[in-house]
Structure 1
Amino acid sequence: MNMLPKEKIVIRTANTKDAPRILQIEREVVSEETFLITSLEEFDKTVDQQSDWIENMIHNDRETMLVAEYSGQVVGWIVFMSQNRIRLSHTGSFGMMIEKNFRNMGIGKLLINGILDWAEVNPCIEKVSLGVFSTNKRAIALYKKMGFIEEGRKVREFKISDTEYVDDVLMYKLV
């Protein structure tokens, strides 16, 4: 794993000006069609929709989005989303995308640590969850290394082709 100098990576809260770059990274990751539910033909999000999504998170105490910047350019992001239901308001889940050229360099770990730090000081959040393709072994290893525990799986949750299915591994960490 090539590590970038940590002092050159900035983890910060996303803002609406980041929307075009966040959308570009998302489009690139979706086009890889490897570890995401969304297929490229379904992906039709606009910059305005992305900007509105970020704006709504900024004004929600139980949600946040962080970006990773390297040399002033956003190279990855993580989003934490929570439920509006009272009995689920103490929990939420995250999703993360990193530009292909910046993977395996420690950025994912920095982004996850950013979400965990945010959750630990947020009086509303007690549990951070995620779902990950069972085939995404590197991500699962990272989550386990960071203290996430597998709490179950949805068997054959994702249909990749007529004959190929992938389980959804459900993981959590209490904060």
Structure 2
Amino acid sequence: MNSDTPRIDIVPLSETHLPGVTALYHEPAVCRQVLQMPYQSTELWRQRLAASSERRLQLVALHQGEVIGNISLEQSPRIRQSHVGSLGMSVAAAWHGRGIGSLLLQTALSVADDWMNLRRVELTVFADNEPALALYRKFGFEVEGRLRDYAVRDGVYADALNMARLRAR
């Protein structure tokens, strides 16, 4: 890492990060690319943290203590799908294109492979989110299907794509 590269720490989500995560999802550029409702409270994020379990990995990316991204990986609670995990992530708009998504995804997939023994990791992404699609493809995710009129965004229905990465046995 050269001196121009900012130091980014990936750490487990904790109570101290909740205001930062709340602020992250208040960013219009972030909120429009996820299924979260805008203006959610810190209390809602506190409830999500409290509902955490060993089957859910929740990480944040920090720059000088400020939350600039997050990722969650949750193993399916279904017995016959215990080899499946679902991902969700976001990165602050000011940090787009600076490797934060790659760092978060690499960290979560390492846990998925080496600790959770997940064979399949899946996600849903808006079909027009080209930067996210490129990132996911870089990590071996493939489109498995299109979900037409999947969610309302900016007052109109938007399509999404199901993507998955299968790990070799």
Determine the structure 1 residue equivalent to 2:42: 47
Inter-partner Cα distance in structure 2 for 1:161 and 1:20:
25
SS at match of 1:61: coil
Task: Report if aligned partners of 1:82, 1:91 keep a CA contact under 8 Å in 2.
Answer: yes
Alignment-derived partner of residue 27 in structure 1: 26
What residue ranges of structure 2 are gaps of 5+ in the alignment?
A: none
- The Cα shift of 1:72 comes to 2.3
Instruction: Tell me the number of residue pairs that the alignment of Structure 1 and Structure 2 aligns.
Output: 164
CA contact (8 A) 2:30 2:93 kept: no
- CA positional deviation for 1:70: 1.0
Matched, 1:147 2:134: no
TM-score scaled by structure 2? Answer: 0.84
SS of the residue 1:154 aligns to: strand
Q: Aligned residue for 1:16? A: 15
3-state DSSP of counterpart to 2:24: helix
1:11 CA drift (Å): 1.1
8 Å CA contact retained: 2:147, 2:161: yes
Taking the aligned partners of 1:123 and 1:93, their CA distance within structure 2 comes to 12
Give me the identity figure in percent: 29
1:35 aligned partner, one-letter code: Q
Residue in structure 2 matched with residue 112 of structure 1 by the alignment: 105
Cα shift at 1:39: 4.1
Say yes or no: does 1:166 pair with 2:158: yes
Q: Which residue of 2 aligns with 1:133?
A: 126
Measured after TM superposition, the shift of residue 157 of structure 1 is 1.7
Within the alignment, does 1:5 sit opposite 2:5 as a pair? yes
Shift of the alpha carbon at 1:149?
1.0
**Hey, which of these two has a bigger chunk of helix by percent?**
1
CA distance in structure 2 between the partners assigned to 1:33 and 1:105 by the alignment:
19
Counterpart of 2:27 in 1: which secondary structure?
Answer: helix
Of 30, 34, 51, the residue aligned with 1:36 is: 34
1:104 deviates by 1.1
Distance of 2:35 and 2:148 partners within structure 1: 15
TM-score normalized by the length of structure 1: 0.82
Contact kept, 8 Å, 2:127 with 2:159, in 1: the verdict is: yes
Instruction: State whether residues 15 and 55 of structure 1, in contact with CA within 8 Å, keep that contact through their aligned partners in structure 2.
Output: no
Label 1:32 to 1:122 Cα distance change in 2 as closer, same or farther (>3 A): closer
Moved over 4 A (4+): none
CA distance in 2, matches of 1:34, 1:22: 15
Aligned residues of 2:151 and 2:159 also touching (Cα < 8 A): yes
